[in-house]
């Protein structure tokens, strides 16, 4: 277990040297890093982890944080008698010794996702009431545990998943559909663990922290021993403490179109006196139309819309990023904007409105050098947005 007062360092950088590098940007990066650190499995899990039971102890898990959560179990349980198997996204693994880590695709499942689901189900077969299963669930589990329901194939699930991702549907709606098409989600993995004791430790990445929605609820049934170890609320509270200035949290579970939220937050920021920090969490959506789409995720789309609506306001900076370190399918967590975002873009011949219309926010911020790069954060408490008004 980490010593009391231990902190997890989160390295954030701008994509290159041509972007903004001033004290306000550094402040926003520090606030974002504090939110990520608060959700680190090494810090948030030990207090919630049960002791090993008298029979067999099996650790299973799925999600973008699954490998880091498994490593936290190994640190806490030490030389206890247990085995385990978890699956995480490609590139999100960490070294473990007792718990085997598999990798699979996200956000669209692949054959490794199906194989991992079958292996995890096999690992919990034949247990007794003396045995204990500890399940480690975090965002991304829906894609990483992709076992088709009877009568369906993996190709069917991939087609549905791609359509859902482009639809702009909220995560709760997507996960309800995913559960209906799955042989492991929606409590089916919990049923497979019976009659062993099942304890789930979960990092929430969904608005409202509904355990039936987190990872499509593979181990959630009514009355389950389900422990939330990190949530968007906890992460934003840590960000507010790190800011040490007047702060307002606009909401922990904001949804809707990313561009629309950017315009709404710009209007709010413009009528808010400083100094003040506006924080928010949740998961917005980007609805892709029939035409070709560029590169970018919901946080960068939000920021580009915010910048256009602020129109160079002299006292406002903002950062938005996905807490897993990957906004959409790109290699950046998000980006930053400031009063000079639009003037610098114009000087490079970039039309911000055109980039927004093409959903090409990544290319826009890449050209400015204003992407925020963290690499995989090994946690996932949804989006973190911060607007600094001076």
Provide the CATH number for the domain around residue 101. 3.40.50.10180
pLDDT given for residue 6 in this prediction:
33
pLDDT of residue 12: 62
Alpha carbon distances (Å) from 353 to 168, 245, 284, 386: 20, 33, 19, 22
Q: What is the CATH number of the domain that holds 288?
A: 3.40.1480.10
**CA 265, CA 205: separation in Å to the nearest integer?**
21
Q: Look up the domain containing 152 and give its range.
A: 45-231
**Does 274 share its domain with 369?**
yes
Pull the structure tokens for residue 284.
């917005």
Distance in angstroms (rounded) separating the CA atoms of residues 255 and 282: 6
CA–CA separation, 330 vs 325, rounded Å?
9
Q: From residue 308, how far is each of 163, 220, 320, 354 by CA, in Å?
A: 29, 42, 15, 11
Report d(CA 185, CA 182) in Å as an integer.
6
* Residue 200, token pair as written in the block: 């789930």
Cα separation, 105 vs 97, whole angstroms:
23
Secondary structure of residue 28 in the 3-state scheme:
helix
Q: Residues 275, 389: contact at Cβ < 8 Å? A: yes
* String of DSSP letters for 229-264: EE-HHHHHHHHHHHH-S-EEEEEEEE-SBHHHHHHH
Residue 111 preceded by cis peptide, ω within 30: no
pLDDT score, position 302: 98
Q: Does the residue 355 lie in any domain?
A: yes
- Residues with Cβ < 8 Å from 63, sequence gap 6 or more? 69, 88, 136, 137, 138, 139, 140, 141, 144, 203, 215, 380
Single residue among 231, 266, 298 that ends a domain in this structure? 231
Query: What is the enclosing helix (H) or strand (E) of 44?
Result: helix 41-44
Strands 276-282 and 247-254: parallel
Instruction: Report the C-alpha gap between 100 and 59 in whole angstroms.
Output: 10
User: Does the predicted TM-score (pTM) go above 0.75?
Assistant: yes
What CA–CA distance (Å, rounded) separates 222 from 132?
A: 18
Q: Is 2 inside any structural domain?
A: no
How many domains are there within the chain? Answer: 2
Q: Which two tokens stand for residue 41?
A: 């499995």
Query: In which order are the strands placed within the sheet that holds 13-14?
Result: 13-14, 371-373, 334-337, 316-322, 383-389, 276-282, 247-254
- 287 and 217 in a common domain: no
Same domain for 51 and 166? Answer: yes
Question: Where among 231, 260, 286 does a domain terminate?
Answer: 231
Nearest to 309 by CA among 346, 272, 353: 353
Q: What is the pLDDT of residue 21?
A: 60
Claim to verify: residue 249 and residue 125 sit in the same structural domain = no
pLDDT at position 2 is 35
User: Are the beta carbons of 192 and 121 closer than 8 angstroms?
Assistant: yes
Same domain? 252 vs 189: no
pLDDT for 20: 61
pLDDT, one tens digit for every residue, the chain (390 residues)? 333 233 344 556 555 444 566 899 999 999 999 999 999 999 999 999 999 999 999 999 999 999 999 999 999 999 999 999 999 999 999 999 999 999 999 888 999 999 999 999 999 999 999 999 999 999 999 899 989 888 888 887 788 777 877 777 777 777 777 777 788 999 999 999 999 999 999 999 988 899 999 999 999 999 999 999 999 999 999 999 999 999 999 999 999 999 999 999 999 999 999 999 999 999 999 988 766 778 989 999 999 999 999 999 999 999 999 999 999 888 999 999 999 999 999 999 999 999 999 999 999 999 999 999 999 999 999 999 999 999
- 386: Cβ–Cβ under 8 A, 6 or more apart, which residues? 28, 31, 32, 239, 277, 278, 279, 318, 319, 320
Joined together, the tokens standing for residue 209 give 């922290």
């Amino acid at each position: 277990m980490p010593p009391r007062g231990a902190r997890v360092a989160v390295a954030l950088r701008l994509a290159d040297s041509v972007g903004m590098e001033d004290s306000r940007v550094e402040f926003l990066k520090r606030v974002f890093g504090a939110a990520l650190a608060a959700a680190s499995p090494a810090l948030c899990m030990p207090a919630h982890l049960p002791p090993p039971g008298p029979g067999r102890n099996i650790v299973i898990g799925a999600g973008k944080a699954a490998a880091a959560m498994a490593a936290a179990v190994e640190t806490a349980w030490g030389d206890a008698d247990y085995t385990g198997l978890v699956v995480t996204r490609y590139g999100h693994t960490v070294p473990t010794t007792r718990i085997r880590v598999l990798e699979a695709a996200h956000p669209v499942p692949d054959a490794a996702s199906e194989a991992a689901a079958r292996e995890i189900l096999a690992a919990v077969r034949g247990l007794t009431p003396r045995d204990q299963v500890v399940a480690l669930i975090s965002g991304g589990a829906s894609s990483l545990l992709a076992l088709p329901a009877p009568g369906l194939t993996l190709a069917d699930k991939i087609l549905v998943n791609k359509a859902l991702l482009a639809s702009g549907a909220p995560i709760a709606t997507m996960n309800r559909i995913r559960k209906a098409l799955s042989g492991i989600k929606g409590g089916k993995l919990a049923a497979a663990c019976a009659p062993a004791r099942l304890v789930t430790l979960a990092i929430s990445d969904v608005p409202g922290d509904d355990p039936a929605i987190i990872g499509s609820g593979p181990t959630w049934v009514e009355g389950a021993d389900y422990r939330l170890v990190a949530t968007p609320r906890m992460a934003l509270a840590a960000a507010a403490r790190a800011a040490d200035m007047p702060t307002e949290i606009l909401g922990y579970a904001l949804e809707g179109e990313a561009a629309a939220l950017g315009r709404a937050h710009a209007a709010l920021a413009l009528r808010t006196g400083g100094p003040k920090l506006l924080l928010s969490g949740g998961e917005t959506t980007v609805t892709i139309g029939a035409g070709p789409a560029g590169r970018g995720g919901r946080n960068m789309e939000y920021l580009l819309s915010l910048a256009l609506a602020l129109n160079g306001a002299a006292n406002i900076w903002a950062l938005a990023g996905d807490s897993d370190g990957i906004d959409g399918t790109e290699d950046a967590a998000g980006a930053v904007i400031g009063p000079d975002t639009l003037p610098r873009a114009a000087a490079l011949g970039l039309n911000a409105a055109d980039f927004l219309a093409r959903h090409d926010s990544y290319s826009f911020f890449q050209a400015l050098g204003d992407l925020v790069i963290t690499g995989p954060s090994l946690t996932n408490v949804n989006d973190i947005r911060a607007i600094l008004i001076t």
